[in-house]
């Protein structure tokens, strides 16, 4: 009896050794690219069909789901709570970043995958310290604490960041210039332009903040910053053979929704679509990269309504005249699109916190 037990134990131990695990077929992705269109509801996604000049990148996804975005405290979430839900798997109060309802820090996805040896990055069109990106590396009680968030970014696991927000590094109320601090912490920071493709050293960390606050809107000359920064990030991060996690945010779809500006919303969504294309093209070639696209919530109650005659009330169904129901966020369910190894996991209707749990489970497969 005792011998049998020892024999059984040895068999279990042998089958669990790391060298053995390497021989097992791994189903999870080596890399995850997670793209968030802030405020991008289904009507915003649909603008890539009606206003784009090529086949929508969204048609490349075969696996889709829906998430419920309410926060712990509000039916209608803000970007901090929903960012935290997706980045760290915890429902929290509106305004909270990387902390739970008791204000205790919660481990986020970049912290989890860093332990696996993965590299991590964020690319956004807001300040890099804004709510959505900050949910992926910071732990603060309120999203407005952007100077603290900038400090936390330099001490985080993030290896690459690009976006706006220079002023939170250089024009701070504590008078500290964080640019030399960033250098001490191993970051090569540039506040003027993105680096040229092929020029990034895998043994360095990089930070690009190319405007004082948010980046300019596409309509005001941002150009191809988002797809180019996404491409640069992928090129840099993919030098790590262990894997990488990259979060890309089309931050200003939300701002356009708040402003009830359809032209702004459409241009920002089409720009975000270019970043999706960069991610999908890489994933297609690489074959081992999971791409997930979703939003943190919908903004504006944006819809693609038929043009309505103001006098008769009749609709002209040949013409779309986008309209808004609110200057605020809404609670509508949000689509999730997934491509690559593990994409099937994202089917169904579930809470936004499941995004984190699914990504973590897949990263460990």
Residue 207: φ, ψ to 5°: -135, 130
Residues between 245 and 274 with contacts to Mg ion, criterion CB under 5 A: 251
Q: Nearer to Mg ion by C-beta: 243 or 335?
A: 335
Q: Looking at beta carbons only, is 134 or 343 nearer to Mg ion?
A: 134
Shortest Å, Cβ 87 to Zn ion = 17
Tokens of 145: 């604490």
Q: Which has the closest alpha carbon to 127: 257, 255, 274?
A: 255
Q: Which is nearer to Mg ion, 345 or 353 (CB)?
A: 353
- Report which of 247, 218, 224, 303 is spatially closest to residue 44, judged by C-alpha positions: 303
CA distance 100 to 93: 8
In 196-243, beta strands by DSSP E: 205-209
Considering only residues 132-171, where is the footprint of Mg ion by CB under 5 A?
132
Size of the site for Zn ion (CB under 5 A): 1
Residue nearest to Mg ion (CB): 132
251 binding partner (options Mg ion, Zn ion, none; Cβ < 5 to 8 Å by kind):
Mg ion
238 binds, among Mg ion, Zn ion, none (CB under 5 to 8 A by kind): none
Q: Which of 34, 38, 58, 159 binds Mg ion (CB under 5 A)?
A: 38
Among 57, 108, 147, 254, binds Zn ion (CB under 5 A): 254
- Distance in angstroms (rounded) separating the CA atoms of residues 234 and 352: 25
CA distance 96 to 5: 50
Residue 79 or 157 having the CB closest to Mg ion: 79
CB of 233 to Zn ion, least distance (A): 24
Which one of Zn ion, Mg ion, none interacts with residue 132, CB within 5 to 8 A by kind? Answer: Mg ion
Residue nearest to Zn ion (CB): 254
Instruction: Fill in the per-residue mask, 56 to 95: x = in contact with Mg ion (CB under 5 A), - = not in contact.
Output: -----------------------x----------------
Instruction: Closer to Mg ion by CB, 120 or 132: give it.
Output: 132
By beta-carbon proximity to Zn ion, the closer residue of 240 and 328 is: 328
Buried b or exposed e, range 196-224, using 16+ CB within 10 angstroms: eeeebeeeebbbbbbbebbbbbbeeebee
Pair of tokens at residue 70: 């309410």
Beta-bridged to residue 289, according to DSSP, are 31
**Binding status of residue 273 toward Zn ion by CB under 5 A:** no
Name residues whose C-beta falls within 8 Å of residue 256's C-beta, 6 or more positions apart in sequence: 39, 217, 262, 264, 265, 267, 268, 299, 300
Tell me how many residues contact Mg ion (CB under 5 A): 4
Which residues lie across from 329 on neighbouring strands?
Answer: 299
Q: CA-to-CA distance for 109 and 312, rounded, in angstroms?
A: 53
Question: Between 111 and 254, whose beta carbon lies closer to Zn ion?
Answer: 254
Residues that bind Zn ion (CB under 5 A): 254
Residues that bind Mg ion (CB under 5 A): 38, 79, 132, 251
């Amino acid at each position: 009896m005792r011998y049998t037990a020892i024999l059984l134990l040895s068999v279990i131990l042998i089958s669990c050794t790391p060298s053995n695990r390497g021989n097992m077929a791994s189903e999870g992705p080596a890399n995850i690219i997670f793209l968030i269109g802030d405020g991008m509801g289904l009507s915003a996604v649909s603008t890539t069909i009606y206003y784009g000049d090529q086949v929508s990148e969204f048609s490349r996804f075969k696996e889709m789901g829906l998430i419920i975005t309410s926060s712990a405290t509000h039916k209608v979430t803000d970007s901090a709570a929903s960012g935290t839900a997706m980045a760290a798997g915890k429902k929290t109060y509106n305004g909270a970043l990387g902390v739970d309802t008791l204000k205790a820090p919660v481990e986020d996805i970049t912290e989890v995958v860093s332990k696996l040896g993965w590299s991590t990055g964020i690319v956004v069109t807001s300040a890099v310290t804004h709510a959505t990106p900050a949910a992926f590396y910071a732990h603060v009680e309120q999203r407005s604490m952007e100077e603290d968030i900038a400090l936390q970014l330099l001490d985080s696991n993030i290896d690459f960041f690009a976006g706006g927000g220079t002023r939170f590094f250089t024009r701070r109320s504590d008078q500290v210039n964080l640019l030399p601090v960033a250098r001490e912490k191993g970051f090569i920071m540039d506040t003027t332009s993105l680096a040229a493709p092929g020029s990034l050293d895998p043994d360095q960390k990089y930070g690009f903040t190319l405007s004082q606050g948010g980046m300019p809107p596409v309509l005001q000359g941002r150009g191809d910053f988002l797809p180019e920064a996404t491409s640069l990030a992928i090129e840099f991060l993919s030098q790590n053979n262990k894997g990488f996690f990259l979060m890309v945010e089309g931050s200003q779809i939300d701002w356009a929704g708040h402003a009830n500006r359809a032209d702004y919303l459409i241009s920002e969504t089409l720009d975000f679509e270019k970043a999706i294309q960069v991610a999908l093209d890489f994933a297609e070639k690489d074959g081992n990269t999971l791409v997930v696209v979703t939003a943190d919530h919908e903004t504006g109650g944006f819809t693609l309504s038929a043009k309505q005659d103001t006098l008769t009330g009749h609709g002209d169904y040949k013409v779309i005249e986008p309209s808004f129901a609110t200057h605020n966020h809404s609670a509508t369910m949000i689509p999730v699109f997934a491509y690559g190894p593990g994409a099937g996991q994202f089917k169904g209707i579930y809470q936004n916190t499941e995004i984190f749990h699914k990504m973590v489970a897949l990263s460990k497969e």
